[in-house]
Amino acid sequence: MPDILPAWDITLNVYGPITVERKFNFRQRKDFHYDDRLYSDIEVTKNGNYGITINLTAFASEQVIARKAALYFCGQALDVLSATINLPTILTLMDSKAFSPRQENERRRLSENELSDAFRTARLWVLTEPTFLRAVGWYRKGLYTEDPFDKFLAFYNSIETLCSKYNPNPRACADRGSKCHIWETFKNIWGECNNWPIIPNQTQWIDDNYETRKDIAHGIASIDINVVENVFAKIETIKQLAHKLIIDWKENRLAPNITEEIRAKLI
């Protein structure tokens, strides 16, 4: 470990319908730029009816940097976890008195393997598939934000980010924009439109949702009850589709290129 970097113990709260049966600990490597390996000691405990608490080690010259590093490091793991269990998780330094989270009456029990796997997978994707991790991050934001416009944009951005990067037929989309990338990616993973999950035979779905996304992102959409209800009506479908795309792509298409250099950074 570089002598110039002191260690900091950071406490983070993760709010959501999750819990753990007992306290557990594990270690995860986190360095990217140093020859010496840096490992974060991670402790996970139950946080009443609110979620879980994660205590971890951060290495930084200043307190503010250590705090940001811990949020970034843990946030990436929660991106992976939320997509896997399909439940919202909110990460914050604030405790329940300052943040006023919702008490969860039904809480998904997380195992030590699920948490440690999320941290390991996040590190792998940071090193090999950062765009896919970004798409997963957009999906987690869609799960936890309550603003319907932000929720719709997050789920749409998740789809657009993945498809724009991984479209296996990019030549077909030269100068045709993200709608074409989405269409070609859906075709690659699911076949023709009549076979698409969630939206079979809905040939205008991509165009219609692109227009909604454009209106919201560019501030064209007026804020009235009809517009809000129209966006609300689209959210469940785009959420299901984004999740299905992420899981199917991860299981059937994603192929991280693990070189010897990267392999050495995973242990």
Number of domains in the chain: 2
Answer whether residue 108 is part of any domain: yes
CB atoms closer than 10 angstroms to residue 115: 23
**Rounded Cα–Cα distance for residues 184 and 85 (Å):** 27
Domain match, 102 and 194 both: no
Structure tokens at 125: 């994707």
Domain match, 28 and 139 both: no
**pLDDT tens-digit readout, 142-158:** 999 999 999 999 999 99
Answer whether residue 189 is part of any domain: yes
Quote the pLDDT of residue 33. 61
H-helix or E-strand spanning residue 78: helix 63-85
Residue numbers in the chain where pLDDT is lower than 50:
1
Domain match, 139 and 245 both: yes
Quote the pLDDT of residue 44. 98
**pLDDT tens-digit readout, 6-32:** 999 999 999 999 999 999 999 999 876
Quote the pLDDT of residue 1. 47
Domain that holds residue 147: 134-252
Domain match, 240 and 202 both: yes
Domain match, 122 and 145 both: no
